[in-house]
Structures are given as C-alpha cells and as structure tokens.
A and B are shown apart, each in its own frame.
Chain A
Amino acid sequence: MSLAPTRHLPILATAVVLALALTIGALRYEHFASWNVFRNLLVDNAFLGVAAVGATFVILSGGIDLSVGSVVAFTSILIASLVEHRGQHALVAIAVALAFGVGFGAAQGALIHAFRLPAFLVTLAGMFLVRGLGFVIHPQSLGIRDPFIAETLNESASFTLALGPRGIAIPLTVDIFLLAVATAAVVLNFTRFGRAVYAVGDDEHSALLMGLPVARTRVGVYAVAGLCSALAGVVFTLYQQSGDPASCKGFELDAIAAVVMGGTLLRGGVGSVLGSTLGVLLFGVIQMFITFEGTLSSWWTRIVVGAFVLVFLMIQRALLASTQRA
C-alpha cells in the first residue's frame, strides 16, 4: 500500500501547527520571540529529541520501546557513579553508558524477534529491570562535580553561531541532538538498513519474501533505540549535572507522543525523523505556552499533549481511509 501522495501531509500538518503556535506565542507574549527563548526550547528538549530519534526507528519498524525513560535514568546514574565514585574519566563513563545502551537494546530486539514476543511486553520488562539496576548502582540522586563534565564539556565544546546581533552559543547538548537527527535522517533515507526499517514496518512478511534481513533489521532497530536512549541519558546528565535513578518516569510516553505528533504512523512503515523533531519542538512549545501563561498549571501539558496525539491519530486515520478508497 503506497501512501506516496499523502505521505507528507502529517508532517506538513505538524509544521503548520508548530509555526502557528510560534506565531501566536510571539504575538501574545512579550519576549516570546527572542533567541534566548528559542535556545531554551532546544536546550530543554534536547534529551527528549535524542530519545525521540530512537523511538522513531522502533515505531517505523512497527514496534514500540517502553524502556526509554528507565535507560535514560540508568545511564545518568551510571555516568555519575563511574565519574564520582570510581574516579573514571568522563569520556570512559560515557562510552560505557553508550555501549550498555546498544547491548541492552540489541538484547531486547533479539528476545522480541527470536521468540516472537510482543515488543511492548519485552520492553516493559526491560523498563522494570533497568529501573531497578539504576537503584542498585546508587539509590539516590548524585551530583557531578567532575570538572570535565561541569566545565570542559559544557563550555568549550559549544560553538557560537553568527546569528542575531551578538551571536548565540549553542550548548553541546543541542549539538548532540541536531547531530543525532541528521545522522538518523541519513541512515533512514540513504542506507540499506534504513530502507529495510521502512520495509519491515510496512509489511514484515513482504520484506521477508523480498529477501530483506528482517532479523538483523529488527535487532538493529532496538539496538539503535537503546543507543539513542543512552545518548539521551548522556545529554540529560550534562543538562542536569547529576545522575538520578528515579528520574524520567513516564518519559517514554513523551517520546512516543512526540513521534506521533510528528506524523509517524504507529502502525509502522510511514514517517520521518524530521517529523519527530518537529513533534519534539511542538511538545516543547506546548510546555512553553503553559509557562508563559503563568496561571495554568503544568498538568495542562499532559492534557494538551494527549489531545494533540489524538488529533494526529485522527488525521492519520482519515489519510489511511482516503488512500484505501483511492
């Protein structure tokens, strides 16, 4: 089933909604249309953005990953503990965390594929497991005083864009976010693995008959998701300057919501990492609106995000229905 003519409609819808929201914000609130606000939008949502990249791979392949929040929390406490308690270099700690992410993700993918288990159940177990492991490493939140993380990574590695009157310093976390999006876009569009992800998500049986390496693709997708979750954990650690095994409960829902708002079909096979990025920004803008409004409490974020997810689901249904009729 081809969705070619209407394939870009959901992502266009997201872009239009995002542009509208930004315009309304700029008209409605003083100081909304400033580089600082936009920079904060990126900084505050960088780790969500990285996680959403991983979630996009999984959802495109027709699966789901519920372990994201736990892996983020685990990597944050793992890095904090390695650096602060074991005296490891920060880069070593980060490498260990990323390697854990890949290995853990691949293990989940292997279980899902080899035993035909439902993805949500396996990653649910993964969520429990990794959440508990985080508390085994260190039961409380742990601040990082290591100078390499606190200063070197945070300051010298950021580069300055010659935008605006004074130029804006873009922190490393945002660089990682943008780099992850760019890499994922290239992988999904221009590599065999990326195209196989779409094919498996659209119709696994056809992909198998076409001779595509379904097993390798499926395991690879979850490995990529694990890597992205761990990378999101690194970004989160840099952002918070601490590790906390109890953090990011329910974070996977935010990532999935951002992906859905970005026009990726939860059925699999249709969507893009660019859309997910727009979805993440839309998520951030909704939060900003609630902050700027002042009188609204933060719980409105969840309601509005829920409503947006629903609206995008409806759009997808309508599009599917129209292509099926055609």
Chain B
Amino acid sequence: MATDPRAERSGRGRALLAGAAHLIWPALALALLLAFNAAFTPGFFHVEIRDGRLYGTLVDILNHGSRLGIVALGMTLVIATSGVDLSVGAVMAIAGAVAATMVVRDAASFPAVLAGALATGLAAGLWNGWLVSRLRIQPIVATLVLMVAGRGIAQLVTDGLIITTNDPRLAFIAGGSLLGLPLPVTLAAAALALLALATRKSSLGLFLEAVGDNETASRYAGLDARGVVLLAYAVAGVCAALAGLIEVSYIRAADANNAGLFVELDAILAVVIGGTALTGGRFYLVGSLLGALFIQTLTKTMYMKDVSADVASIPKAIVVILVCLLQSPVVRGRIAARRRPP
C-alpha cells in the first residue's frame, strides 16, 4: 500500500476515515449476503431463547465464525508483515491432539491442558517465525514445512487414533455460554480486544506495518524487524492453538486428519476480504473478523440452500477471485483513473 496516494496527504483524521472506509467493503458484502438470506431463506433470522441462551442460525454463524475469526486475527498480523502462515490448520490439529491426549491419557488438570495446548501453538509459531526471520526462508515455504509435517506430528501425539473425550470442562469451551452467547464468541471478542489494544495502543502496530511495508527501511530506522516478524508468527500460532482447542471441545474429539482442514485458506481469505493487502503494511483486525463472519455466513447459506458441502467450494472460489480482482493494483489503478480523470 506504499503507493496509495491518500496516505501521503492524510492527517490523523483522514487515516481513521480511511480505516473505516476499508471496513465498509466487508460490512457491505456481509450485509448483502444477509439481505439475500432475509429474502430467500425462511427462518434465517429466527432467534429464540432456551435455558437462558440464544439459539438460531445467526447464533450458529457467530459461534462457528468465531473459531475462524480467531485464526484470522493471528493471520492478520502475519500478513501485515507481508508474510503468510499456511500451517495454522496443522497447528490446530496438533494443539487439539495435545489437549485431548492430556485430558484422556494423563488426566491432567484443566489449566495444565489449556496451557499445554496454547504452549504447543506458541512453539509452532516460534518455529515458523524462526524459519522466516532468522533463516530468511520465504513465508509460504517455511510454513509449508509445518503444514506438511504438522498433521503427522498430531497423529504421533494421538498414536493415530481419534481421541474422544466427554470431559465437561473441555466441552465447556465451545459448549458453554456467556451472556446468552456461545463462549467462542466471547473468546474471539477477547482476542480482538487484546490484539487491538496491543497493536493500536502501543507502537507494535506501527512496527508491524513498517516491517510489512519495507523491511529493509524499517531495519535501517532502528527497528528490530526480525523480532517483530517472530512475534507475529508466535501470535498466529497461539491463535491457531486456541481455535484448535475450540474445535476439540466442539466435536469432543481430536481428529488429526480433519481438524482445521483448509482453515488456512479460509483464514487468508477472511483477512483479504477484511481489507488487509497480501503485500503487507496496513492491517485491519475488525475487517478480518467481518471477513470470517462473511465466509461462515456464505457456508451456512449454502447448507441451508441444500448445496452439499463439497460443491459449496465453487461459490467460495468465485468470491476469492472477485476479492482478488478488487484488491489487484491493476484493477484499482483503472478504477482510480476513472474516478480522477487527468
């Protein structure tokens, strides 16, 4: 986004406005999809209260979208540094495997299980970050290593079994509710608040954008670019582990082969829909969450329209291409040229 002419003449107010302007697109897309459902999907907006908690399609979307949203939040920071993390799905599987194994085989205490799963994600993230920042391997390739090996590691942890658990404390993570909403929604909101606080109320966000815009320049400016990159991948790993915990809790089993399958693609898509460019630089955490909700709504719409889960990937592909085209510098250039005739 270094070439964005707006950036040069924008004051603080304008920058804020530009940030809000970026949120308009994912919000508009989501609104359009919801409007479609309001018109064509009966019962889509039906929400009722049972046993003090909300039930309904919208609540479902929030619930499942939260899991993807948490992964997307971590991914946003990585993409802001102009990287990408392809291993988040595998990390979800490993963290889930660790959690289920600790609960079932070791009968570990609940805080230990939480700490174990999140520490697994942290270790995976630090590994990715080390490969990218110290060994200077391209992010796609560096995280590919863990993407390939990760599910094998997860199966190693579970001995190739699908470990089922009915532990009530573990089940509470996805099954519990707070203020009538499922607990994952609270977790996603908490993750957003934490990351927004850390990146916007300190200079960390600025550092991330600086490294993503021009790593060399940021290093010359005295920034610990490698440390910033390492941190971004570590956060992505922890976020993926949290999503892995939610997934284990939701299906009450650790499935090394299918947990978090293709989530890396959805997460990248969510970030891109949210307005963060894959070339790095400015990032939008709220946008990524909106993107995740959009994807989840799209998936849910497909299901409610009796489109099989397998065929549902076609509209998703079309969305990817459309979003890509809208983000493409070529298309943006043409639109801008039309808007501002020379």
CB distance from A22 to the nearest CB of B (A): 23
B152 and A246 contact, CB distance less than 8 A: no
CB distance from B229 to the nearest CB of A (A): 16
A128 and B138 contact, CB distance less than 8 A: no
A125 and B324 contact, CB distance less than 8 A: yes
Encode A119-133 as 1/0 by CB contact (under 8 A) with B.
Answer: 011101111110111
Task: For the complex, give the distance between the alpha carbons of A120 and B268 in Å.
Answer: 11
Instruction: Pick from B108-116, B153-161, B167-175 the stretch touching chain A.
Output: B153-161
B324 and A115 contact, CB distance less than 8 A: yes
Task: For the complex, give the distance between the alpha carbons of A17 and B312 in Å.
Answer: 43
CB distance from B97 to the nearest CB of A (A): 11
CB distance from B308 to the nearest CB of A (A): 7
Q: Decide if B27 is an interface residue (CB 8 Å cutoff).
A: no
| CB interface residues, A 116-153, toward B, < 8 Å | 116-118, 120-122, 124-129, 131-133, 135-136, 139
**Could you say which of A117, A128, A246, A297 contacts B328, with CB atoms under 8 Å apart?**
A117
Task: For the complex, give the distance between the alpha carbons of A128 and B268 in Å.
Answer: 14
B141 and A245 contact, CB distance less than 8 A: no
Task: For the complex, give the distance between the alpha carbons of A127 and B268 in Å.
Answer: 14
B151 and A117 contact, CB distance less than 8 A: no
Q: Decide if A248 is an interface residue (CB 8 Å cutoff).
A: no
Task: For the complex, give the distance between the alpha carbons of A81 and B265 in Å.
Answer: 29
Encode B275-296 as 1/0 by CB contact (under 8 A) with A.
Answer: 0001000000000000000000
Task: For the complex, give the distance between the alpha carbons of A306 and B312 in Å.
Answer: 31
Q: Decide if A300 is an interface residue (CB 8 Å cutoff).
A: yes
Known contacts: A125-B321, A302-B152. The answer to whether A120 contacts B314 by CB under 8 A is no
Q: Closest residue to A66 on the B side, CB-wise?
A: B265
Residues of A within 8 A of B151 (CB): 299, 302
Q: Decide if A27 is an interface residue (CB 8 Å cutoff).
A: no
B317 and A116 contact, CB distance less than 8 A: no
Q: Decide if A163 is an interface residue (CB 8 Å cutoff).
A: no
Task: For the complex, give the distance between the alpha carbons of A132 and B156 in Å.
Answer: 31
B144 and A317 contact, CB distance less than 8 A: no
Residues of B within 8 A of A300 (CB): 152, 156
Residues of B within 8 A of A257 (CB): 144, 148
B317 and A125 contact, CB distance less than 8 A: yes
Chain B facing A: main interface SS: helix
Task: For the complex, give the distance between the alpha carbons of A253 and B264 in Å.
Answer: 14
**Could you say which of B137, B308, B314 contacts A128, with CB atoms under 8 Å apart?**
B314
Q: Closest residue to B307 on the A side, CB-wise?
A: A132
**Could you say which of A116, A253, A297, A314 contacts B160, with CB atoms under 8 Å apart?**
A297
Residues of A within 8 A of B317 (CB): 125-129, 132
Closest 9 CB pairs of A and B: A306-B149, A302-B152, A132-B314, A129-B317, A128-B317, A125-B320, A299-B155, A135-B310, A303-B152
CB distance from B237 to the nearest CB of A (A): 16
A256 and B144 contact, CB distance less than 8 A: yes
| CB interface residues, A 214-245, toward B, < 8 Å | 245
Residues of A within 8 A of B314 (CB): 128-129, 132-133, 136
Task: For the complex, give the distance between the alpha carbons of A245 and B310 in Å.
Answer: 9
Q: Decide if A99 is an interface residue (CB 8 Å cutoff).
A: no
Q: Decide if A313 is an interface residue (CB 8 Å cutoff).
A: yes
A309 and B152 contact, CB distance less than 8 A: no
Task: For the complex, give the distance between the alpha carbons of A122 and B331 in Å.
Answer: 15
A121 and B160 contact, CB distance less than 8 A: no
Residues of B within 8 A of A314 (CB): 135
**Could you say which of A121, A249, A310 contacts B145, with CB atoms under 8 Å apart?**
A310
Residues of A within 8 A of B140 (CB): 64, 120, 266
Task: For the complex, give the distance between the alpha carbons of A133 and B156 in Å.
Answer: 34
Q: Decide if B305 is an interface residue (CB 8 Å cutoff).
A: no
| CB interface residues, A 162-209, toward B, < 8 Å | none
CB distance from B275 to the nearest CB of A (A): 15
Q: Can you list 12 A-B pairs, Cβ within 8 angstroms, ordered by A?
A: A115-B331, A118-B324, A125-B321, A135-B308, A139-B310, A253-B148, A299-B156, A300-B156, A306-B145, A310-B131, A313-B137, A313-B141
Residues of A within 8 A of B145 (CB): 306, 309-310, 313
Residues of A within 8 A of B155 (CB): 297, 299
A132 and B310 contact, CB distance less than 8 A: yes
B313 and A306 contact, CB distance less than 8 A: no
Residues of B within 8 A of A120 (CB): 84, 140
Q: Closest residue to A129 on the B side, CB-wise?
A: B317
Known contacts: A116-B330, A128-B320, A132-B317. The answer to whether A139 contacts B325 by CB under 8 A is no
Q: Decide if A161 is an interface residue (CB 8 Å cutoff).
A: no
**Could you say which of A121, A249, A256 contacts B278, with CB atoms under 8 Å apart?**
A121
Q: Decide if A301 is an interface residue (CB 8 Å cutoff).
A: yes
| CB interface residues, B 195-218, toward A, < 8 Å | none
Known: A116-B328, A120-B140; 4 extra A-B contacts, CB below 8 A, are: A128-B313, A132-B313, A266-B140, A299-B256
**Could you say which of B138, B265, B311 contacts A124, with CB atoms under 8 Å apart?**
B265
Residues of B within 8 A of A307 (CB): 149
Task: For the complex, give the distance between the alpha carbons of A12 and B320 in Å.
Answer: 40
| CB interface residues, B 98-152, toward A, < 8 Å | 131, 135-138, 140-142, 144-152
